[in-house]
Structure formats: structure tokens, C-alpha cells
Amino acid sequence: MLAAISCGRSTSAPASQTATADKSDASVAPDAPDAPIAPNVPIAPGPPRIVVLGDSLTAGLGIPREQAYPAMLQRKLEDAGIPFEVVNAGVSGDTTADGLRRTSWALEGDVRLLIVALGANDGLRGLPPSQMKANLQNIVHRARQRAIPVLLVGMEAPPNYGEQYAASFRQVFHDLARENKVTFVPFLLEGVAGVPDLNQSDGVHPTSAGAARIADHLWPAVKTMIEK
């Protein structure tokens, strides 16, 4: 079985800080009336959200974003008449450490389910499974702090690091699912990895048809969790 290759991700430069004018320099007439205060306008609440935290497999590298598997899950929700919004929080090249750094802001808002689909790039780089486990555990913990259920999706390591590494890598996901009692799908690319017609020319990233297969694979667990 194949794991995702690490893809270079573009890193946005940090937003420049806006200079604030010194109020003492402003010329204000002493008797000028205060400006009228605008009434508070309530913001209409958006639909509850499902956040998919992942890497290039989630982001939909090589295919239109609207054909990546999170978008396919969105269509399934719409077809089922379930008013949830699926947020694609996939970033190409992300490891579990990168995903952990993004977790807090990814969980802002009315998030009802977090799908964690990370680990492919940890495996590609041969990072220690113990480190991957610690990162994933922290992601689960942060979701739990906000009372957000977690769907943990497993990944397989590439074969070039040997069977011992692959077994340890695989076991991390099983142990996390058991220890945290979270819903678990053992392999994101089940039925897709190794199938030429469902993968792009790199043999790793799914085509649109492959992404649809992933959505089909995840849908039963997603539907069950949001209907609880």
C-alpha cells in the first residue's frame, strides 16, 4: 500500500502589522460631538461544520479542489438533506506536527466533527512513530477540550523503511483509537492505493474518481457520527 508523497506547500508571508496613528497628533475640535454609534447587527450563524484536517490527499493535489474527497463528502451531506458544511483543512506537505500547529484555529466556530487524516508525510520522511503518536494525541486532546468528536483515519508507511517501521507506524493509529475510544477508519486509501485508474501519474495522489472512492469509504462513519 502506498503513502502520500510530501509536496511543497506555499507558505504565506505573515500579515504586516498595520501602523496605528498617534491619537495625540489628530486635530479634534474640543466641542465636537461624539460620532453616532452604529447599532450592533447580529451575525447570522452559519451551518455546523465538519473539519477535515489533512495533507495533500485531503487538499486534492493535482485535481480541482471541488473534486477532492471533502467536497465529495459535502455533496453526500447535501443529497442526504443534512445541513452541515465540510471545511477542507488539507495542506500539501503537512506532517502531523504541522497539523497540530493548525488545530486550534481549524476548530474555531461551530465544529461538530473533526476528521484527522494525517501521517502520510511522517511516513514518507521516516519520522519516529512515537513522535507521530504524540502529535496526533495532542490533536485529539484539543478537539476533546472543545467537546468535538474525532474520526481518526489511518495511513500506511511506504515499504522502503522496512516492515518493522511499517508495523510500528500502523500500530500508532490502532493504539490511539483504542486509548481514546474514537471512531476509527484504518486506511484512508482503502480500495484506492495501487489501483492505476484511481491514481494520478505519480501513483500516489488520487484522481477525481479516487477521491470519490475515498468519500464513499468515509461516508458511513461520518454519517453515523453526525446523526448521533
- Catalytic residue of the set 6, 55, 122, 205: 205
Q: What's the rounded mean pLDDT across residues 35-59?
A: 76
Q: What percent of the chain has pLDDT over 70?
A: 80
**Is-catalytic flag, 16?**
no
| 185-223: b (≥16 Cβ within 10 Å) or e | bebbbbebbeeeebbeeeebbbbbebbbbbbebbbebbe
- Catalytic residue of the set 56, 92, 94, 217: 56
**Is-catalytic flag, 205?**
yes
**Is-catalytic flag, 12?**
no
Q: From CA 149, how far away is CA 151, in angstroms rounded?
A: 7
pLDDT at 87 over 90: yes
- Catalytic residue of the set 110, 130, 174, 202: 202
Q: Is CATH 3.40.50.300 correct for 46-226?
A: no
What is the reported pTM?
A: 0.82
For the chain, the domains span 46-226
Among 212, 224, 220, residue whose Cα is nearest residue 71? 212
pLDDT digits (tens, 9 = 90+) for 185-204: 999 999 999 999 999 999 99
